[in-house]
């Protein structure tokens, strides 16, 4: 299938991966009209709780989407490596396992934290989006408890 067919009109970007291959494609959409449009779109998404908090600066808003996509790339690599290490389940289960591990780590650090209040609306849609959203939060200057848990888990896993 051509990427143009996969790409929905309102898609900012996505990663295509193959479960049994190292190959991954990061595809950027053509949704943004300009740099300013991209910055404003991300800013608005944060204000509406659709995206995770970051440092409030245009050059950070501008890299939000690509950082989120790098989260997907990383999770696909982690899944492949887990399989090489004997992990038996499918990728959607791996994504669910990662989500649980991040939440458990956040609760271990702060038992009263509320993961549901810390994750963006987009991150609630799917376990894979949860990971990418928390990854963006962890990388862009003001990680919340989920972002900090992600940092700890990545470090513990050697990433």
Interface with Zn ion: number of residues (CB under 5 A) = 2
Q: Which stretch binds Zn ion (CB under 5 A): 57-65, 104-112, 122-130, 145-153?
A: 122-130
CB of 66 to Zn ion, least distance (A): 11
Q: Which residue is nearest to Zn ion (CB)?
A: 132
Task: Tell me the CB-side half-sphere exposure of residue 56, using CA atoms within 13 A.
Answer: 5
Q: Which stretch binds Zn ion (CB under 5 A): 2-10, 57-65, 127-135, 136-144?
A: 127-135
Decide: 61 and 54 in contact? Cβ < 8 Å: yes
Q: Is 132 one of the binding residues for Zn ion (CB under 5 A)? A: yes
CB of 110 to Zn ion, least distance (A): 26
d(CA 146, CA 138): 8
Q: Which stretch binds Zn ion (CB under 5 A): 51-59, 113-121, 126-134, 148-156?
A: 126-134
Please give the full DSSP string across 61-130, using - where no structure is assigned.
HTTHHHHHHHHHHHHHHHHHHHHHTT--S-HHHHHHHHHHHHHHHHHHH-TT--HHHHS-HHHHH-HHHH
Q: Which stretch binds Zn ion (CB under 5 A): 34-42, 50-58, 102-110, 123-131?
A: 123-131
CB of 88 to Zn ion, least distance (A): 25
Phi first, then psi: give them for residue 119, nearest 5 degrees: -100, 145
Q: Is 42 one of the binding residues for Zn ion (CB under 5 A)? A: no
To the nearest 10°, the Cα dihedral for 135, 136, 141, 147? -30
The footprint of Zn ion on residues 89-118 (CB under 5 A) is none
Positions touching Zn ion (CB under 5 A) are: 129, 132
């Amino acid at each position: 299938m051509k990427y143009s067919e996969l790409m929905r009109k309102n898609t900012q970007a996505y990663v295509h991966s193959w479960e049994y291959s190292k190959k991954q494609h990061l595809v950027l959409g053509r949704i943004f009209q300009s740099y300013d449009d991209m910055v404003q779109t991300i800013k608005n998404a944060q204000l509406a709780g659709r995206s995770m908090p970051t440092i409030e600066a245009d050059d950070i808003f501008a890299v939000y989407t690509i950082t989120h996509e790098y989260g997907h790339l990383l999770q696909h690599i982690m899944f492949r490596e887990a399989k090489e290490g004997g992990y038996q389940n499918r990728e959607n289960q791996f994504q669910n396992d990662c989500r649980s591990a991040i939440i458990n780590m956040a609760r271990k650090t702060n038992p009263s934290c509320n993961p549901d209040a810390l994750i963006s609306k987009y991150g609630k849609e799917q376990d894979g989006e949860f990971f990418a959203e928390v990854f963006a939060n962890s990388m862009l200057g003001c990680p919340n408890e989920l972002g900090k848990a992600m940092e700890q888990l990545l470090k513990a896993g050697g990433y």
